[in-house]
Structure 1
Amino acid sequence: MRIGILTGGGDVPGLNSAIKAATIRLLDAGHEMIGIRRGWYGLLHFNMDDETSAQQFTMRLDRNAVRTVDRTGGTFLHTSRTNPANVKAKDVPEFLKHTTVFASGLADRYDFTQHVLSVLRFLGIEALITIGGDDTLSYSLRLHNEGFPIVAIPKTMDNDVRGTDYCIGFSTAVTRALDFIHNMRTCTGSHERIAVIELFGRYSGETALVSSYLGNVDRCLIAEVPFDIEKLCDYLLCDKRTNPSNYAMLVVSEGARPKDGAMIERGEADAYGHRKLGGIGDYISEQIKRLTGEHTMYQNVAYLMRSGAPDALDVMVSSNFGALAADLLLQGRYGRMVALQGGKYTSVPLTEVGGGPRPLDVAELYDAEHYRPRVRNVENKPMFLY
């Protein structure tokens, strides 16, 4: 078989390890591997009448191509936030504007799934491994429903894909965040201030919650629970006064929102309907100054959480996920997503991702009244509690 592999959505450490493991396993079984560059964007923009498209959007994967890729983070195949089933009129490739799908020119969005399937047939790709989060995997499910052989690998530092206890990138994100939290203590304590550290997390507060739990921060705001800024300020003032070093630490999910407001978004929505987040920590920092008169230190960790090489846990999980995905293809078990459940590697139907991001168990893991982690019981919980 000729098998394709791609990554989509935000990059996380561990993607290259998964690509390498799947590639080596399938090469050893006698199959051919083709890397799709730039995720779904590469398939959408592939022009079958342009001989340069193959070089631009695909690459043959052999042992030398993947030999050293697992030593670094990111994805050497590159990535995008493209959804071929929901393409804005202005983003339609020029060569597709002559197709019947675009002919009317009256719609705001267009579905080019049939073009993607045609490209896969043109390239001779008989099955596809897709690595991504809820959005990327939702389009994988679409192709599966169209009858194309798919096996998926979950990745997101939010760790909120349904059907698995763990997603590639989460451990490294928490490790990075924990380092930043502890490092910020030296500056914050030296100047006797209130630190506001903003972490990624659009709909899921797990990264912020687990980082706060392990870092023993004073308060934590998560995306799932709207906050009262005045009550938060009262808590932080008390935290600062009772700390012998006279400082306080607050961690904020980028998707956190005040009770009387909304998430702070900016820019245009992407193909999955998401606008960029970022700035809620700055807003909270300014409100703390206004309401308390205290000086603050605001740090948006942002992309640094997912930059650089993966930690050992993400190397292990991503490598095993890649090998398991290859095994599923070799067994002809299509339409499945590799997973970790109860500490064991397994797979689940790809339809599991159809329900959207997995919700955080706020009642079990968070004190919504006092804005801080509160893990009530760890017995029988997954390693990362969620």
Structure 2
Amino acid sequence: MKRIGVLTSGGDAPGMNAAIRAVVRKAIYEGLEVVGIFHGYQGLIDGNMEVLNLGSVGDIIQRGGTKLYSARCPEFRTEEGQQKAIEQLKANGIEGLVIIGGDGSYRGSMTLTKNGFPCVGIPGTIDNDIPGTDYTLGFDTALNTVIDCIDKIRDTATSHDRTFIVEVMGRDAGDLALWAGLAGGAETIIIPEVKMNMEEVVERLKSGTSRGKKHSIIIVAEGVMSGSEFAAKLMEHANIETRVSVLGHIQRGGSPTGRDRVLASMFGARAVEVLIAGSGGRAVGIQNHQVIDYDMNEAFEKSEVFDQNMYQLSKELSI
């Protein structure tokens, strides 16, 4: 293998740039040429790419977002779109790909692997919802961003004796809400993995009020409902007035934490090693503090394990 490509796809996550840097520099160290593909699978179809050198990835390890940009690409889901992508790979002499993104990106990776172009996936998503790895790239940074916001919101909640609802990202997975809620001392955490019990939520709020507590923080993962919808339900059930803060895309931005930079560096280097070994359809990850690679099908066949113990602890500590 003499030439590989790298692209980022799906929602951006802090640490993607650090991973791109690691892929490029590890590959060059091993004597390979690297082509950067812009705007994900859409850029692959359009042939929007260029050769990257050491200087191309200088001064990006500390930057959020992705130097290669990202985009959704419905066209790649069609056979015609996939054929265009394959033709571009052949035309540009690309023999393997490193794809940084979430489960949708992984599915595209498997499609290309089955068509003779080995791909390796790096889990880049703030949701921490890729089976097979303990942590995904960007989760730690997003977590710290949410915690910082919760701390600031608590200041004003305390000042005004109010209950605040904080809506965080997490369509199908509640890791970000759960970890941030526990770290931020939230009184209630609403996540997709646990069926919501409004009566229990109301009881917890009233119990706090009865012992003199005058403010509360409720974390709601967007996959359950919006913060505004939850506020309306709380008013309907208990006539409790709240304020809603929707953190939105601020959770995706910002300079990656040291942990995400290190993970990105190790993930990127391992992905290149896997391609050099002639393997495709693999994903890199971390398990028990060790960087590993595994069959990407596991990311589709297994369900992400929800940490019930952590959820229970969050309830016990917020009495």
TM-score, normalisation: structure 1: 0.77
Letter of the 1:286 counterpart:
A
Question: Hey, what's the Cα distance between the residues in 2 that align with 1:243 and 1:203?
Answer: 35
Q: Which residue of 2 aligns with 1:273?
A: none
State which of 336, 339, 349 in structure 1 corresponds to 2:285: 339
- Does structure 2 conserve the Cα–Cα contact (< 8 Å) formed by 1:224 and 1:256? no
- Does structure 1 conserve the Cα–Cα contact (< 8 Å) formed by 2:14 and 2:256? yes
> SS at the partner of 1:131?
strand
Letter of the 2:149 counterpart:
F
- Does structure 1 conserve the Cα–Cα contact (< 8 Å) formed by 2:19 and 2:264? yes
> SS at the partner of 2:255?
coil
Letter of the 1:120 counterpart:
L
- Does structure 2 conserve the Cα–Cα contact (< 8 Å) formed by 1:21 and 1:319? yes
Q: Which residue of 1 aligns with 2:90?
A: 121
Question: Hey, what's the Cα distance between the residues in 2 that align with 1:290 and 1:196?
Answer: 15
> SS at the partner of 2:149?
helix
Letter of the 1:365 counterpart:
M
> SS at the partner of 2:61?
helix
State which of 196, 208, 214 in structure 2 corresponds to 1:239: 208
Q: Which residue of 1 aligns with 2:154?
A: 185
Stretches of structure 1 that go unaligned for 5 or more consecutive residues are 47-53, 88-109, 258-279, 376-386
Stretches of structure 2 that go unaligned for 5 or more consecutive residues are none
Deviation string, structure 1 residues 285-306 (Cα, Å, up to 9, x no partner): 2332344333312101111111
Give runs of ≥4 in structure 1 deviating > 6 Å: none
Q: Which residue of 2 aligns with 1:202?
A: 171
Count of equivalent residues: 316
Question: Hey, what's the Cα distance between the residues in 2 that align with 1:163 and 1:122?
Answer: 34
Question: Hey, what's the Cα distance between the residues in 2 that align with 1:362 and 1:21?
Answer: 31
State which of 307, 310, 317 in structure 1 corresponds to 2:256: 310
State which of 237, 244, 247 in structure 2 corresponds to 1:298: 244
Letter of the 1:328 counterpart:
V
Question: Hey, what's the Cα distance between the residues in 1 that align with 2:212 and 2:110?
Answer: 51
Q: Which residue of 1 aligns with 2:69?
A: 78
Question: Hey, what's the Cα distance between the residues in 2 that align with 1:373 and 1:205?
Answer: 15
Question: Hey, what's the Cα distance between the residues in 2 that align with 1:136 and 1:243?
Answer: 49
Alpha-carbon offset, residue 232 of structure 1: 2.0
Q: Which residue of 2 aligns with 1:330?
A: 276
State which of 219, 222, 225 in structure 2 corresponds to 1:251: 219
Letter of the 2:133 counterpart:
T
The alignment yields a C-alpha RMSD, in angstroms, of 2.0
- Does structure 1 conserve the Cα–Cα contact (< 8 Å) formed by 2:41 and 2:76? no
Q: Which aligned pairs between 1:74-153 and structure 2 lie closer than 5 A?
A: 74-86=65-77, 111-153=80-122
Q: Which segment is superposed worse, 72-81 or 330-339?
A: 330-339
Alpha-carbon offset, residue 129 of structure 1: 0.6
Higher helix share: 2
Question: Hey, what's the Cα distance between the residues in 1 that align with 2:151 and 2:212?
Answer: 15
Question: Hey, what's the Cα distance between the residues in 2 that align with 1:18 and 1:160?
Answer: 18
Question: Hey, what's the Cα distance between the residues in 1 that align with 2:24 and 2:249?
Answer: 28
Q: Which residue of 2 aligns with 1:364?
A: 309
Q: Which residue of 2 aligns with 1:96?
A: none
Deviation string, structure 1 residues 122-180 (Cα, Å, up to 9, x no partner): 11111111011111111111211222111111111111111111110010111111111
- Does structure 2 conserve the Cα–Cα contact (< 8 Å) formed by 1:159 and 1:166? yes
Question: Hey, what's the Cα distance between the residues in 1 that align with 2:315 and 2:9?
Answer: 31
Q: Which residue of 1 aligns with 2:196?
A: 227
State which of 128, 132, 155 in structure 2 corresponds to 1:163: 132
Q: Which residue of 1 aligns with 2:44?
A: 43
Alpha-carbon offset, residue 330 of structure 1: 2.2
Alpha-carbon offset, residue 77 of structure 1: 0.3
Alpha-carbon offset, residue 337 of structure 1: 1.1
